[in-house]
């Protein structure tokens, strides 16, 4: 590998960074899945059967009524309890993911506060996109009898996949040696 790295330093860097990024992302994705197995029930005990969502557009897919939301979930889609569980798993995951990607994968010495704000803004954007996905996925799969455990695995894998693509592009930018430097 060292002779490959000497001959193709840019390719070797992409392979190293991409490989580490994937490994850390998969570990964090597994952690998020583990959290989603018990957090909805925990939050259900705390907030009960409450709804909290926006914009709440009613739709129908495959004969299944659903409510499209960018923020939050209707009661049929898990309500406030699922929203809090999903958001909590993302925050905990990114609090682990960010320092690993910054320090180990990209070896960045850049402005940590600016990098963290950009990284978490990207994670929040992923949350909004994936919240819309779950507003479609959960009611449709529940209607067809897919068990909660399978739904949570798919939700986590899809969320993780989308997150990896978006966050890798953000991280590749914010952890570059020139990020935050005036030209």
Please tell me the least confidently modeled range out of 2-6, 81-85, 145-149.
2-6
Cα torsion 7, 9, 13, 14 to 10°: value is -70
> pLDDT tens for residues 159-172?
778 888 899 999 99
Q: What are phi and psi of 147, to 5 degrees?
A: -65, 155
In 3D, which of 67, 24, 35 has the Cα closest to residue 152? Answer: 35
Asked if the bond preceding 55 is cis, omega within 30° of 0, the reply is yes
Residue 79 scores a pLDDT above 70: yes
pTM over 0.95: no
Cα–Cα distances in angstroms (integers) from residue 47 to residues 36, 50, 91, in the given order: 16, 6, 19
> pLDDT tens for residues 97-133?
999 999 999 999 999 999 999 999 998 998 898 889 8
DSSP 40: H
What is the model's pLDDT at position 41?
A: 95
Residue 88 scores a pLDDT above 80: yes
The domain ranges of the chain are 2-174
Rounded mean pLDDT, 16-31: 92
């Amino acid at each position: 590998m060292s002779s490959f790295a000497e001959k193709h330093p840019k390719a070797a860097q992409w392979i190293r960074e991409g490989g580490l990024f994937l490994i850390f992302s998969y570990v964090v994705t597994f952690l998020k899945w583990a959290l989603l197995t018990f957090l909805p029930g925990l939050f259900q005990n705390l907030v009960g059967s409450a709804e909290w969502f926006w914009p709440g557009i009613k739709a129908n897919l495959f004969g299944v009524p659903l409510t499209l939301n960018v923020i939050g979930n209707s009661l049929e889609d898990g309500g406030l309890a699922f929203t809090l569980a999903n958001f909590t798993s993302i925050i905990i995951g990114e609090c682990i993911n960010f320092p690993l990607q910054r320090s180990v994968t990209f070896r960045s010495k850049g402005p940590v506060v600016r990098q963290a704000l950009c990284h978490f803004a990207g994670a929040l954007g992923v949350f909004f996109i994936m919240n819309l996905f779950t507003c479609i996925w959960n009611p449709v799969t529940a209607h067809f009898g897919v068990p909660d455990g399978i739904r949570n695995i798919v939700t986590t894998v899809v969320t993780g996949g989308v997150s990896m693509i978006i966050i890798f592009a953000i991280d590749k930018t914010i952890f570059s040696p020139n990020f935050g430097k005036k030209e």
